[in-house]
Amino acid sequence: MKATMFERYGGFGVVHRIVLSFYDKMLDSDVVASYFDDVDMEALVDHQSKFISQVMGGPVAYSNDILEQVHRPLGVTQEAFDEMARLLQSTLEEFSFQSDDVRAVMADIKSRQPYIVTTG
């Protein structure tokens, strides 16, 4: 049986380090840092690690409905989503992800844009 991307890159431990690095970038960004002013970052990193694990073929499952419920009150803009995507891609590349794997993760994330970005 073919290993998932989650398994090939080392599982939760590696994903957790990726997410920590990703949020370091997010918190340094003038575009998105304000979204995290009153956020429990430890809990957020835990949830995001599980979500990215799922995207990589890991054992956790978050529905698009949950993504929408969590993000709707935040008023996430297209600009903020694009910045997040840019920072995530950069982080994956820094962790030496293969280009096909970066494209696969980013395609999954971008497919969820309607559940994250607030329109109208």
pLDDT tens per residue across span 84-111 = 999 999 999 999 999 999 999 999 999 9
Residue 76 belongs to a domain with what CATH number? Answer: 1.10.490.10
Classify residue 13: in a domain, yes or no: yes
* pTM attached to this predicted model: 0.93
Model confidence at 119: pLDDT above 90: no
Classify residue 32: in a domain, yes or no: yes
* Average confidence score pLDDT of the chain: 95
Model confidence at 1: pLDDT above 80: no
**Which range marks the domain in which residue 44 is found?**
8-116
Residue 96: per-residue pLDDT: 97
Residue 120: per-residue pLDDT: 61
Classify residue 3: in a domain, yes or no: no
Classify residue 2: in a domain, yes or no: no
Task: Calculate what percentage of the chain has a pLDDT beyond 70.
Answer: 99
At 31-88, the pLDDT tens digits run 999 999 999 999 999 999 999 999 999 988 888 999 999 999 999 999 999 999 999 9
Instruction: Return phi, psi of residue 44, to 5°.
Output: -65, -45
Residue 2: per-residue pLDDT: 82
Contact 96, 17 (CB under 8 A): no
CB atoms within 10 A of CB 40: 10
Classify residue 86: in a domain, yes or no: yes
Classify residue 55: in a domain, yes or no: yes
Number of domains the chain is built from: 1
Classify residue 1: in a domain, yes or no: no
